[in-house]
Amino acid sequence: METVKCVRDWRNEIEMALECKKDEFRMMGYRQASNDDIWKCLEEKVWKGNPQKRLYEVVQDIFHLASNIYMSYLTVNAYQDEDLMASIAAVVNGHADAEK
């Protein structure tokens, strides 16, 4: 019988697959690719949460992650980070103006 676990529970066993995918993306020119970013992309775009899967299914999902899905994930997160930074700057500047 094959073991079925939530995908997060497989994280330690699949580190080498993430490393291979990171190397693939870096060879394609995505120099900032990291294991953590790839994992987060899979959680958000492919698995949409923490579904139960077999080990081979998790590894297959990693190797089948397309570069356009990964880039879409990074782009959306970059915009969200910019919005967050703009919000923080507005609060800090507003607080500084109020103290004057």
pLDDT digits 0-9 by tens, 37-70:
999 999 999 999 899 999 999 999 999 999 999 9
Asked if 15 contacts 58 with a C-beta cutoff of 8 angstroms, the reply is no
Q: Is the pLDDT of residue 86 over 80?
A: no
Answering whether pTM is above 0.85, one says: no
Q: How many domains is the chain partitioned into structurally?
A: 1
Rounded to whole angstroms, how far apart are CA atoms 46 and 89? 33
- Please tell me what DSSP assigns to residue 14: G
- Cβ-proximal residues to 49 (8 Å cutoff; 6+ apart), any chain: 43
**Which domain range does residue 95 map to?**
4-99
For residue 78, the model assigns a pLDDT of 79
Res. 97: pLDDT tops 60: no
| pLDDT tens-digit readout, 5-36 | 999 999 999 999 999 999 999 999 988 899 99
E strands along the chain, which residues? 4-6, 52-54
